[in-house]
Amino acid sequence: EIHEEDLVHDEAVLISLTERGYVKRVAAAAFRSQSRGGRGVMGHTMKEEDEVVMLMPARSLDTMLFFSDKGKVYSEKVYQIPDADRAAKGIPLVNVLALDANERVTAAIAVSSFESHGYCIMATARGKVKRVNLAEFASVRPSGLIAVNLEEGDTLGWARLTSGKDEVIFVTENGQALRFSEDKVRAMGRQAAGVQGIKLKKGDLVTSMDVVQPDGALLIVTENGFGKQTPLKEYTAKGRATGGNYTIDPKAIPTTGKIAAARVVQKNDDLTIITANGVAIRIKVKDVKQAGRATRGVHLIKPQEGDSVASVARIAVEELKKVGAQVNESGEAEKTQPELL
C-alpha cells in the first residue's frame, strides 16, 4: 500500500507566516539574504502590505505545530501547506487551521519526530511557563487541543523545542531578563496551567521567551527602534520565578520605548524588524552593535511619528543548516536567485 507521504520529496523548506495571517511554504533554495536599510539610518525604507513575522526552516515531512494566543495547539504536515513562490502571499491560515475568528497564531515549531524524547516549553504574557513532553502533541485533532490552560486575560505567546537540558531566557517589556534551567519546570500534562516563570513587576508583561544558545547573544529592539546585542554570558542563570537582571537601563525607557522584541541570535543570522504600520528593514546580526546589559543600544530603525516597532523576525542560519539547506559562509542558501522576503 502506498501512502501519500511516500510520494513526497523530503526537502528543506521555509514556512512563512505574515502579520495578517497568511502562510506559505517555499523551498529553502529560494532563500537569499539581502541587507536593507532603515528610514534615515541605513538608506531606504522597504514597505510591504503584509510583513513576514515568522520564518521557520523545516523539512517537507515534518509536522508543524501552531500555537495560538488562546492556549491551543494545531498541527499540519509541512507538505500540506501550499507551496508558493516569493511573489505569492500564500493562503489565509484560517483555511489550513480551524482557528476561531478572534484567535491568532503566536508561535510555531517544526517537529521531525515525536519520539525524540524532547520537550515543548511555552510561555505566556503574564510570565507563566509550562513544559510538556513533545509526545503529548503527537495526535492533535483538526479542531486543535488545549496546550496550556490560561488565566483570564493571559495569552500564550511563545513555544520552543528543548532537549531537557536547555536553559531559557524571559524578557519583559520594561527590561527585565531572567535566565533559568528548563529542569526547574517539571513536565506537565496538557491540561495543566503551568507555573510562574518570571516574577513581573506591576504593569509589566513578557515580550519574549527563547532558548539559550551558550555562544549566542540576546538581541533586543525597543518600540522606538533602539537595539543592541549582549553576549548571553552576561545573563547569569537564576532561580525560576525571580526577577532576573535588567537588560536595558530603566531610566532610558522614556527615550527608547519599551522592549518590543528580543531574540537569541548568532552573528550570521538575519533579522527583519517590522513596525506597526508595516515598514520593515532587513539587517544582519553582525551589523548590530554589541553593548552591555544595562545600556540602551543605538537606533536600528527610526519609526515615523505615531509608528513603533511591532516585531522582529529572525532567520537563523544554524536552523537552515539543521534541516539540510545548503548555506554558504555569508549565511545564504546556495543555488538560488529569488528572494523570499
Residues present in the chain in total: 341
Return d(Cα 326, Cα 27) in angstroms, integer.
11
The DSSP letter of residue 304 is P
> Which of 337, 210, 202 is closest to 269 using CA atoms?
210
Q: Which superfamily does CATH assign the domain made up of 4-322 to?
A: DNA gyrase/topoisomerase IV, subunit A, C-terminal (2.120.10.90)
Can you list the residues of the chain whose pLDDT is less than 50? 33-47, 333-341
DSSP letters for 73-107: EEEEEGGGSPB--TT---EEGGGTS---TT--EEE
Q: Please report, as a single letter, which amino acid is at residue 94.
A: V
The model's pLDDT over 89-146, given as tens digits with 9 standing for 90+, comes to: 889 999 999 999 999 999 999 999 998 779 999 999 999 999 999 999 999 988 899 9
pLDDT at 86: 60
Return d(Cα 96, Cα 81) in angstroms, integer.
7
The DSSP letter of residue 56 is E
Cell of 311: 516585531
Cell of 324: 539540510
Q: Name residue 178's beta-bridge partners.
A: 170
**pTM for this structure?**
0.90
The model's pLDDT over 261-301, given as tens digits with 9 standing for 90+, comes to: 999 999 999 898 999 988 889 899 999 999 999 899 999 99
Q: Decide: 44 and 30 in contact? Cβ < 8 Å.
A: no
Return d(Cα 133, Cα 172) in angstroms, integer.
26
